[in-house]
Structure 1
Amino acid sequence: MPSHDRPIFALFLRFLATILFSVMLLLVKLTGERGIALSETLFWRQAVPTVLIFGWLATRGELGRLRTQRPWIHARRALIGGTGMFLTLGVVRLLPLAEATVLGFTTPMFAVILAAVLLKEQVGVWRWMAVTVGLLGVLVIAGPDTTNLPLSGVAVGIGAALMVALVTIQVRDLSRTEEPVTVVFYFSAFSAPVLGLFLLTTGVSHDLVGWLMLGGIGITGLCAQIAMTSSLRYGSVSSVIVVDYVQLAWATFWGWLIFNHLPPASTWIGAPIIIGASLLIIWRERMLGKARADELKA
């Protein structure tokens, strides 16, 4: 299925995704404080999109849009994405929202490492330098005092960024042949039944507020995922990923408004280091992409 390059629309979709994703993470943290198990939160995060997408397409007589020639690729994406989602939502319960969000910005660094290790790509000094600087930024945020920022939470945050780097490659590949709604549906449909097994041990007894939070996680997660996947369909990774850094502002705002938490000095120092390193990687990737395109034209 052909892809149409619409960079402004892609940036808008990515910006919308940052808002929705920040609200979803806020609800995840709030459900944690209400004692709702993470596995149950993950189940509703996946089950709600599965039902809503299937029902929406069924009422429109468009279930044929779910046909795919790549079921195993979707299954692999679900495995990687499910692991990444477990870590991404888990770190929110271990760390403050702003710090958890900043650690997610290390994704471009892991993308470079994965490209070198898995794809055997030649990585130059600029990108390796950016990776090194970015990881130093993580050390600054972690700091010597682990009271407010436990190392276990930092490790989970870094693991989440690694898995997101893998997911980004998968989604970009699937977006070349599949609609965003198809990609999102199979991610949820493959993982929801597995997560549903955990309900046997966690139970599903909640008050109205708890149910509204779980439903909100599913709905905001669905909309954020469609917007993010669509942004990769209408624009390149290097052009839209810069907008993701807006999410730090949302996370800081929610942390201050709901939890009366403002990041310490170490976060304000480390965050620009990580963001700067990530932007350098993105810029370098874009320059290399242009150079390869020029070589093909010559």
Structure 2
Amino acid sequence: MANASPDRILLAIGLRLTSVLLFACMNTLIKLSEAGGATIGEILFFRQAGAAAFMVVVLLTGPGLRSVATSRLPAHILRMAMGLSAMALTFATILALPLAESTTIGFTMPIFATILGALVLGEPTGWHRWGAVVLGFVGVLIVAQPGTGHFPLIGALTGLGAALLTAGVSILLRQISRTESITTTVFWFSTLSLVPLGIVYAFAMQPHAPLVWLLLVGIGVIGGAAQLAMTGALRFGPVSVVVPMDYSSLLWATLSGWVVFGVLPDTWTWVGAPVIIASGLYIVWREHVRRRIETDQAVVEG
């Protein structure tokens, strides 16, 4: 990856930006479908059912279903449980908060990834990154303004919980990716999720207007395409280049919130969001520096 060509880097950036746009569209559809009467259980089911169907089509028209055979089913089950819990909390945050605010809270994921990397994996974490962690939580306090009542507490809690679980998934994926391809990981996550979500949907299903059904199907198809584009970007570009593209989602969230729902971020969101973004970007940069130093040392010692 260190020797990736400029063309591949541009492809990686393009894929990641595409995924950001698609996820922003999906989030808008989530709020619209909930406004039309859909429950979060139904939304989750269609999100994963659509993604699973999308993956099956991709596999059948490409490498085939045999290409996703795995000997690490327990690891995929754990990834499914953590990922599905993170997704449920993320959707709950989207429904509880305006799109810009829910997106901003989600930017705390690199902060939690740093904490978990130090505690779980024992990764070296110097004062630079710990300082960025503190700065990131200061940004959260600026956005949420706890005690003032302007920011729903449930939205803040579900958003931070989603970011924590998503960070945990990223740690787990580091282990899984040593033996499993991106396609295999996405396929098993989508299909395994249908087991618990199928049970939930059996109790949550209800009649809807045709437009709501279209919204639910759109959530699944767009979400599946976004997930493939997001993970596929990492095949062509390093994390330090690709991940910062995710912060462009705030622009789409703000635009969608304004055009579709007539809501703009308040002053404190405009103040706190750059603080959280700066924290995340610095963490990504420090990780890039650390890995580059480790690589140089390995070359010298080799």
The amino acid across from 1:39 in the alignment is G
1:17 is aligned to 19
Question: Quick one: which of 37, 41, 49 aligns to 1:39?
Answer: 41
| Counterpart-to-counterpart distance in 1, 2:298 and 2:62 | 44
| Distance apart, 1:285 and its partner CA | 0.9
The amino acid across from 2:142 in the alignment is V
2:65 is aligned to 63
Contact 1:130 1:277 in 2 (8 A): yes
Contact 1:99 1:263 in 2 (8 A): yes
Provide, for residues 225-268 of structure 1, a one-character-per-residue CA deviation record: whole Å limited to 9, x for no partner: 00111112222222211000000000000000011111010000
1:106 is aligned to 108
1:259 is aligned to 261
After superposition, the Cα gap between the structure-2 partners of 1:212 and 1:116, relative to the gap in structure 1 and judged at 3 Å, is same
Contact 1:171 1:229 in 2 (8 A): no
Show the 5 A alignment for 1:155-174.
155-174=157-176
1:182 is aligned to 184
| RMSD of Structure 2 on Structure 1 (CA) | 1.9
Q: Which runs of 5+ in 1 are unaligned?
A: none
| Distance apart, 1:216 and its partner CA | 0.4
2:283 is aligned to 281
2:96 is aligned to 94
Provide, for residues 147-169 of structure 1, a one-character-per-residue CA deviation record: whole Å limited to 9, x for no partner: 44211110111111111112223
Contact 2:2 2:238 in 1 (8 A): no
Residue-pair matches, total? 297
Show the 5 A alignment for 1:97-246.
97-144=99-146, 146-246=148-248
| Counterpart-to-counterpart distance in 2, 1:133 and 1:56 | 42
1:149 aligned counterpart, secondary structure: coil
Contact 1:106 1:134 in 2 (8 A): yes
Contact 1:3 1:233 in 2 (8 A): no
1:204 aligned counterpart, secondary structure: coil
Aligned residues: percent identity? Answer: 42
| Distance apart, 1:201 and its partner CA | 2.1
Is 135-144 or 65-74 further displaced after alignment? Answer: 65-74
| Distance apart, 1:34 and its partner CA | 1.6
Provide, for residues 162-219 of structure 1, a one-character-per-residue CA deviation record: whole Å limited to 9, x for no partner: 1111222333444444333322111011111211111232223111101100000001
| Distance apart, 1:58 and its partner CA | 3.6
| Counterpart-to-counterpart distance in 1, 2:276 and 2:254 | 16
| Counterpart-to-counterpart distance in 2, 1:77 and 1:4 | 30
| Distance apart, 1:61 and its partner CA | 7.6
| Counterpart-to-counterpart distance in 1, 2:57 and 2:275 | 45
The amino acid across from 1:33 in the alignment is A
The amino acid across from 2:107 in the alignment is F
TM-score (norm 2): 0.93
The amino acid across from 2:127 in the alignment is V
TM-score (norm 1): 0.94
Q: Which runs of 5+ in 2 are unaligned?
A: none
Provide, for residues 73-119 of structure 1, a one-character-per-residue CA deviation record: whole Å limited to 9, x for no partner: 21111111111111111100000000000011111110110011111
Is 125-134 or 145-154 further displaced after alignment? Answer: 145-154
